Amino acid sequence: MKILLLGSGGREHALAWKIAQSAACEQLYIAPGNAGTAAHGTNVNIAVNDFEQIRSFCIDHQIDMLVPGSEEPLVLGIYDFFKSDDALRHIPVIGPSKEGAQLEGSKAFAKQFMQRHHIPTASYREFDDSSFEEGLAYLLQHPVPIVLKADGLAAGKGVVITSAYEEAAAEFEGMIKSAKFGDAGRKVVIEQFLTGIELSVFVLTDGKNYKILPTAKDYKRIGEGDTGLNTGGMGAVSPVPFATDAFMEKVENTIIRPTVEGLRKEGIIYQGFIFFGLINVEGEPFVIEYNCRMGDPETEVVIPRLQNDLPELFTAVQQERLDTMQIAEDPRAAATVMLVSKGYPEAYEKGREITGIPLPAKDQLVFHAGTRAADNKVLTNGGRVMTVTSLAGDLRIALAHSRQTAEDIQFEGKYYRRDIGYEFIS
Ligand code: AMP
Ligand code: GLY
């Protein structure tokens, strides 16, 4: 099989590393990829949202499978683009239709979907320009903290949580009246604040059947002790110690199955990953958000623990026979620690040389995120630069190994959190 993977983050490096190990993968291309993905296939200089160029590439290189790593092409409708084109229709796309991707692309769509299928989530109301005054009144009598969510994709920045009414009102007005998050924020969801500990659950579905992948927890805040600004993710661990069999049974019965069945009943085409962003409220799971792709950096701990052949699973997805597959998990724990550029998630510099990147080892993998190769050097090319994943029988050991390597890798302005996994090792 000739496979084209779309994306350029640590998630895509982990996916490329895994896909390239499959005997079924004859050739792997990554568009646009990074300095790390180039070790597992051929990087192609095409942006993930440039559908016309992706189309030409697939035809010219006789691509047999498309794997979108990030949400952008999915929310923009790459599935539908392929299925409505005579020259591309035969190529399986591992991801949902544009309608299915609305689970991530529209908070209002996701909330309505959950309500229709009685899936536990925070109670909410949605407002737009026509209900602005009503929304303001609703907000001012809402218990604090108040959670405001811009409806569409907002690069992880569309959620505001505040206990100050004035700030909430100003944010609400900014979202609706001044389009603070562009059209993404023209509609706003105001929801109940849930208190608990979050985790990420990933499912691969063929539209009828599903398989649950290893659980993970990511660390979104920039600062140690979960302080400071939200980021794309500063590290992750897998498995999640509190995701016991009893808890996961509740997740499957009240959340996963109703979601997959709900999509099928509504005729929404969905053959790909579903990312359930969950919160454990006193032992009961609630959905915080859906994403239509794998998480980053969760993929960097989930994929190394997955013992299956990934292209084989993808083929089973396309042939709607996931029920014949068995997921095999490495019993060891995995931890990943993300190295970022000083200033991230706000302004940061690029182009710094990275040294001290270790060679791949049995129990450790370095996945590149924002990097690029130039003149035999590896340079920083993003806020999240690379992540160090370690596997060990004990999470504590995996974390210590990742921290040590994070220390050894050098670039100007390097920062990483030393407390990833803190709540599970004290
Ligand atoms: P989202 O983009 O929906 O994942 O929201 C970003 C982050 O905000 C989540 O990872 C949570 O930490 C937090 N969050 C979102 N919704 C809620 C909620 N209803 N209650 C508590 N925290 C929330
Ligand atoms: N790590 C969270 C995400 O990928 O959205």
pLDDT of residue 348: 95
pLDDT value at position 337? 98
Residue 102 lies in a domain: no
H-run or E-run covering 4: strand 2-7
Structure tokens at 417: 């959190």
Q: How far apart are CA 285 and CA 132, in angstroms?
A: 32
Residue at a domain's end among 161, 191, 221:
191
The two tokens of residue 220 are 């979104």
Say if ligand 1 is within 6 A of residue 296 CB: no
Domain end, chosen from 191, 215, 235, is at 191
* pTM for the predicted model, two decimal places: 0.96
DSSP one-letter code for 121: B
User: Is residue 294 a contact partner of residue 324, using CB atoms and an 8 Å limit?
Assistant: no
What whole-number distance in Å separates Cα of residue 412 and Cα of residue 407?
A: 12
Evaluate whether residue 141 is within a structural domain. yes
CATH number at residue 24: 3.40.50.20
Q: What is the CATH number of the domain that holds 153?
A: 3.30.1490.20
Give domain status of residue 369, yes or no. no
Report the residue among 103, 109, 159, 284 best suited for mutation to probe ligand 1: largest number of ligand atoms under 8 A from its CB.
159
Mean pLDDT by 10 residues, the chain (426 residues): 98 98 98 97 98 98 98 97 98 98 94 97 93 93 92 77 92 84 74 96 98 97 95 96 97 98 98 98 97 97 98 98 98 98 96 94 95 95 97 97 97 98 89
**pLDDT reported for residue 156:** 62
Q: Which two tokens stand for residue 369?
A: 């995120």
Q: Which two tokens stand for residue 289?
A: 């958000």
Pairing of strands 377-380, 353-354: antiparallel
Query: How far apart, in whole angstroms, are the C-alpha atoms of residue 149 and residue 170?
Result: 13
Report the alpha-carbon distance of residue 80 to residue 210 in Å, rounded: 22
Domain that holds residue 169: 124-191
Closest by Cα among 343, 340, 337 to 354: 340
| CA-based nearest residue to 151, from 173, 176, 131, 134 | 176
Contact at 8 Å (CB) between 297 and 236?
yes
Distance CA 157, CA 145 (A): 17
User: What crossing angle do the helices spanning 132-140 and 165-177 adopt, rounded to 10°?
Assistant: 160
DSSP codes of every residue in 302-343: HHHHB-S-HHHHHHHHHTT-GGG----B-SSEEEEEEEEETT
**In this structure, is residue 15 part of a structural domain?**
yes
Asked if residue 159 has its Cβ within 6 Å of ligand 1, the reply is: yes
Residue 112 lies in a domain: no
- The CB of 153 under 6 Å from ligand 1? The reply is no
**294 Cα–ligand 2 center, Å:** 8
Distance of CA 135 to the CA centre of its chain: 30
